[in-house]
Structure 1
Amino acid sequence: MDTSGIKAVVFDCDGVMFDTAQANRKFYNEILKCFNKPPLDDEQFQNIHMMTVTTAVEYLFPEMDDHRPVYEMIKSIGYASVIPFMLMEPGLLELLDNLKQAGLVRGVATNRTNTMGKVLIEHKLKKAFDIVVTASDVANPKPFPDQLEKIMDAFALLPRQIVFIGDSIYDQKAAESAGTWFIAFKQPGLQAHAHAVSMAEVGELLKLSKYNS
């Protein structure tokens, strides 16, 4: 991976910036419980981890023609209740600071929708990013390239001037379609230009060591 021309580093949220397994499982299990359905099995959890809320609801409640009761329950319970259970990836703050010192654009491309703002506020990351693009900001969520293309347009960047860090096949396909560099985070099975298992390793791949204190 040639890092010499990189001008922006874009992060997926769930599974990259945060370990959201406990929070997401807790939230969706609460919804399922309200409709007398069993808790998520491992396959279901792996799938909803990549999905927008809309797609997840359709996936978990295929027998329902009208999903309005589910959305009403989601609104009633509110994702904010489980945001504190999201665990920030160690080294994220240091990496973001190093990216800022290096003069690189810091972005987020996530299939979250209206919960992303609450996540950033709760974990004091509101000012840590130059641009945040959610599924509700574009016509098509990941695996489509719309989010990455929106970031490119916002900063007049070429595809190879962006590195996208993700952990799902949706992220991989979005990067492939957009033509950006892709770092797979803690997912050795994904096809990527590079793989990393920690934020420190991402920093090394991006040759940010000179900014470390």
Structure 2
Amino acid sequence: MKITSSQMLMPLIKQSSAILFDLDGTLFNLHIQWQDIRQHILSHYKRTYGIEIPEKKKFFKIFRYIRTEQGDQAFQYYQDYMRNQELIALKEKRFEPLKLFTMGIEKMAEHLRFDCFFGIVSNNFHETILEILNQFGSNDKFKVIIGRNDVSNEKPNPEGLIRIMDGYDLLPEKVLFIGDSKVDEEAAERAQINFIYVDDLNRILKIEE
């Protein structure tokens, strides 16, 4: 269920067993030229295989096409390229925390059950997530982290969300996922869990960006 109001959100926070977050655009902004990376992949694929990938806007569709047409080795090659681009951004410190990370999590924590935990489900790589959290001394805030390379199918496939629910024996109605994109919303819908956009959450919690 998509959450849009305080009347919906606050009771849900108080009874949730887990609150899960996307990373880029939700907890942090990573300043990575995703469109340049996308274009590089499309151009390199055409040079390498002599054919064009049909125009697709989302990375998950591009990677699905590569894996289907060329197999796991080609898929992993382009995954590694993306991982390297993220690591370069980290090395150059091209990221910053958003208000949800610096203020919102603490505001939410005031209302949580004692056994509720935080987690991250992101299409960024696991190493990227850990390194960013480590730089802010925040690894212990999140009980579970699932990145792109921890699953066979990234969001909007709900695999990462479902893995957490299965691993911790969680009821879908007691899980809240917070994200910034239609990909996040679709993943939550397919996992049958609650979802709220980060902008709506900030508005309800009165967090100014």
State the TM-score bracket (shorter-chain normalisation): 0.5 to 0.7
Unaligned runs of 5+ in 2: 1-7, 47-54
CA deviation vs aligned residue, 1:98-142 (integer Å, no higher than 9, x gap)? 444533310101112243222322343322211111232233221
The separation in 2 between residues aligned to 1:76 and 1:113, in whole angstroms, is 7
The separation in 2 between residues aligned to 1:158 and 1:14, in whole angstroms, is 26
Change (3 A) 1:24 1:154: farther
The separation in 1 between residues aligned to 2:124 and 2:88, in whole angstroms, is 16
Tell me, yes or no, if the aligned pair for 1:152 and 1:159 is still in contact at 8 Å. Answer: yes
Residue 3 of structure 2 is matched in structure 1 by none
Residue 118 of structure 1 is matched in structure 2 by 131
SS of the aligned residue for 2:195 comes to: strand
Change (3 A) 1:23 1:202: farther
Query: Equivalences for 1:183-202 in 2 at 5 Å?
Result: 183-186=196-199, 195-196=200-201, 198=202, 201=203
The separation in 2 between residues aligned to 1:140 and 1:68, in whole angstroms, is 12
Residue 210 of structure 1 is matched in structure 2 by none
TM-score by length of 1: 0.65
Unaligned runs of 5+ in 1: 38-42, 59-63, 187-194, 205-213
Is 1:131 matched with 2:141? no
Residue 158 of structure 2 is matched in structure 1 by 145
Change (3 A) 1:202 1:28: farther
Q: Structure 1: which amino acid aligns with 2:25?
A: G
The separation in 2 between residues aligned to 1:153 and 1:68, in whole angstroms, is 27
The separation in 2 between residues aligned to 1:6 and 1:176, in whole angstroms, is 17
Tell me, yes or no, if the aligned pair for 1:27 and 1:79 is still in contact at 8 Å. Answer: no
SS of the aligned residue for 1:82 comes to: helix
TM-score by length of 2: 0.66
The separation in 1 between residues aligned to 2:185 and 2:83, in whole angstroms, is 34
The separation in 2 between residues aligned to 1:67 and 1:163, in whole angstroms, is 35
Change (3 A) 1:107 1:75: closer
Q: Higher relative CO (CA 8 A, sep ≥ 6), structure 1 or 2?
A: 2
Change (3 A) 1:183 1:87: same
> How many percent of aligned residue pairs carry the same amino acid?
23
Root mean square deviation, CA, Å: 4.0
Residue in structure 1 matching 2:81, options 53, 71, 74 = 74
Change (3 A) 1:77 1:139: closer
CA deviation vs aligned residue, 1:47-87 (integer Å, no higher than 9, x gap)? 34xx49x72995xxxxx998489649838955222122112
Aligned positions, number: 182
